[in-house]
Amino acid sequence: MKKKIKIIGLDCPNCAKTLEGQLNKIEGVKNVRIDFVKSSLAFESENPDKALEDIKTVTKQLEPQARISGGENKMWLVADVVTLALGLLLGIMLFFVQLPTWAFWLVYVSSALLLGWKTYIKAIRLLFKCVINENLLITISVVGASFVSDHNEGLMVIALYSIGKIFEGLAVDHSRKSIEKLASMQPEFVNVLVGKKEMVARPEEVEVGSLIIVRAGEKVALDGLVISGSALVDNQSLTGESLPVNKKKGDEILSGGVVLDGVLTIKTTSEYSDSTISKIMNLVENASENKSKTETFISKITRWYTLGVVVLSVLVWGITWAVTKQFDTAIYRGLIFLVVSCPCAFAISVPLSYFSGLGNASKHGVLIKGSNFLDACANLNVVAFDKTGTLTTGKFEIQKIDCFENHTKQEVLLLTALGEQYSIHPLAKAIVSACQQKLPKAKSVKEIAGKGVEFEYKNKRYFVGRKSQLSQTAVELYENDIKIGQIELSDAVKKEAVEACEGLRKMGVKTVMLSGDNKSVVQSVAKVIGIDDAIAQMLPQDKFEYISKLKENKQKVGYVGDGINDAPSLTVSNVGFSMGINGSPASVEASDVVIVDDNPKKILTAIKISKYTRKIVWENILLSAIVKVVFLTLGAVGVTGMLWAVFADVGVTVLAILNSLRALKHKVEKK
């Protein structure tokens, strides 16, 4: 039997992964899956009640702050902050107050315990379960520093780590992907026509073949076929298409769109669970489970590094004792080995490098939601873009005015605006805005569904709309059935979009545009921007499947979008980029990186900072490793003493920390 429950309080993906591994070892429990993004835990068991109790027991042992099937509890934050503050105060007191030896050790141990008691407990409990991770790494760092009487270093290590964990937990709580926000796309009710009467029902209660009525301002709840009526339908939240689509009798219509005017009677062709909007919801919910999460290097090597250090220190002690027959000398050299190999440089400098990179990115208007996503940006080899609102402004501008029959551009613009002033269509609004004149009232205004508007002005009859087979963004003007003008508009391309695609190409990153707009519009925009590939008329599930296939082919994919419809693609991609100003709340929450000013060129900034940060990380790793290997060898054979061991540990840590701060000061080249 499958069961899914809520789990809150996990403060990092790595903790969730470790806990998941231990829960899968419980007898009678299988296929445990923790979704860190949605704070959910799924498992299978023939006896789910007993399994749940066992899961709660193990979870409480390994992650005391985590809660199973409980409400949100922020008391952990208050307790952690208070405990941390007390630990810092005691630690600072050691700098300014001279204490007797017994009092010094009492204060020192109390400070260290207050600062990191959770870390120590996790390290010990996981060690008994044969799991070695960063908790043991930090614990050894503190103990190692205490062995050589470098108490300040010991407190610094655990203080920085604990502060970082608190901020990490806050960031996770704040930036969790709010899947619930997509529920606004799902209508709560639908008007069902039964005989000649309307009845209100829930969408999931409506059977296939039922007749539903959707009026202006209402959302289409179910996929279907228009039986009667005509109306403009805004599908931007569904397909990203910038222009409303006219729907009339005989047209298919998808759930999720909003009727702007008119009334539609629709015969449903699918149940709610099979409707387009329901499928989008399922895609987003499932995508987070399939998404591969990049881990920073330090998380990967923690277990083996720490285990190797412990084993080698014991070997050094044993070999020295066997050769010299001097127990004290063997203990001393083993301790030197342990101190030199104390992983402070790794434990502090590597996360600090990532934090510095994240801080640098934020200064450039790029908010990256974690070091794993910063790391992932460096690996991207394909970046897919949504069109409207991402590469384009989403606002239409007049590109060209053609005049016929001796009319001027000013006359064509004025007469066209005269008819369009009564329309809510985006093209109409753009034309009226461009006219910049106080428009007189037209007479005998009549809207022709799906075509345009007829009106009279100065005893002449005019038509504004489209009679010919033109592009979707062209408007014609007729005077007494004679064409006198034509206005072409386009969704303005962001000038930064061209620079972004050019910069990505120079980096060896392929660019792709995935849009719900028609083929001619998409190809036109792609030509202006110079994008590598462009695909039109894509629904959210089409984009989702396209990105999924790229990932199956071992591509590292970034997706850039701004609408609710982009949420599935943002979630399934290796790195999802959203627009911070015009982006929908759902897209911002579903993304891994937020471009604060909607400038697509900032994707280059994110990648450049990512690559530079990774370079700093590897410099720190190599520096620390080389120095430690040299001094480990010298210490093992008795050439160096404890003083050099402290230098190798503390010195390389300080150098690595200073090097890490370069990631914060790095200036991204402006090209």
Instruction: Report the CATH number at residue 25.
Output: 3.30.70.100
Residue 19 lies in a domain: yes
Kind plus residue range of the DSSP H or E element containing 40: strand 40-44
What is the tally of structural domains in the chain? Answer: 4
Residues 474 and 585 in one domain: no
Structural Rg of the chain based on CA atoms: 32
Mean pLDDT of 210-223: 90
CA distance 258 to 255: 9
State which of 217, 246, 279 marks the end of a domain.
279
Domain annotation covers residue 517: yes
Residue 544 sits in the same domain as residue 403:
no
Section 530-540 average pLDDT: 88
Do 213 and 242 belong together in one domain?
yes
* Mean pLDDT, residues 169-174: 51
Query: Which pLDDT value is given to residue 174?
Result: 46
> Is residue 375 domain-shared with residue 522, that is, in the same domain?
yes
CATH number assigned to the domain comprising residue 464:
3.40.1110.10
- Averaged over 603-623, what is the pLDDT? 90
Residues 429 and 479 in one domain: yes
Task: Compute the distance between CA of residue 418 and CA of residue 428 in angstroms, rounded to an integer.
Answer: 10
pLDDT for 538 = 86
**Residues 449 and 544 grouped into a single domain:** no
Same domain for 197 and 267: yes
Judge whether residue 3 has pLDDT over 70. Answer: yes
- Let me know whether 407 and 486 are in one domain: yes
Q: Taking CA 495 as the corner, what is the angle to CA 403 and CA 611, rounded to the nearest 5 degrees?
A: 160
Residues 522 and 467 in one domain: no
**% residues pLDDT > 90 (the chain):** 19
Is there a single domain that holds both residue 429 and residue 511?
no
Instruction: List pLDDT tens digits, range 332-342.
Output: 676 666 666 66
Confidence of residue 301 (pLDDT cuts 50, 70, 90): low
- Give domain status of residue 458, yes or no: yes
Mean pLDDT of 370-395: 86
Is 54 tagged catalytic?
no
**CATH number of domain containing 588:** 3.40.50.1000
How many other CB atoms are there within 10 angstroms of residue 142's CB atom?
A: 24
> Which listed residue (11, 375, 386, 517) is catalytic?
386
Judgement on whether residues 503 and 480 belong to the same structural domain of the protein: no
Residue 346 in any domain: the answer is no
Considering the domain boundaries, does residue 525 fall inside one? yes
Mean pLDDT to the nearest integer, 444-459: 85
Residue 432: inside a domain:
yes
pLDDT of residue 181: 45
Domain C-terminal end among 249, 279, 309: 279
pTM: 0.60
Assigned token pair, 132: 């070695």
Q: Looking at the domain assignment, is residue 624 inside a domain? A: no
Q: Provide the residue range defining the domain that includes 41.
A: 2-68
- Over residues 482-502, the mean pLDDT reads 89
Average pLDDT, the chain: 79
Query: In the listed set 493, 516, 549, which residue is the last one of a domain according to the structure?
Result: 493
pLDDT tens sequence across 592-612:
888 877 889 999 999 999 999
* 559 neighbors 595 (Cβ within 8 angstroms): no
Question: Taking residues 381-398, what's their average pLDDT?
Answer: 86
pLDDT at 179: 40
Q: Is residue 630 part of a domain?
A: no
SS in 3 state form for 248-293?
CCCCEECCCCEECCCEEEEEECCCHHHCHHHHHHHHHHHHHHHCCC
For residues 406 and 257, state if they share a domain.
no
Span of 59-63, 332-336, 600-604, 663-667 with lowest mean pLDDT: 332-336
Res. 289 pLDDT band, cuts 50 70 90: very low
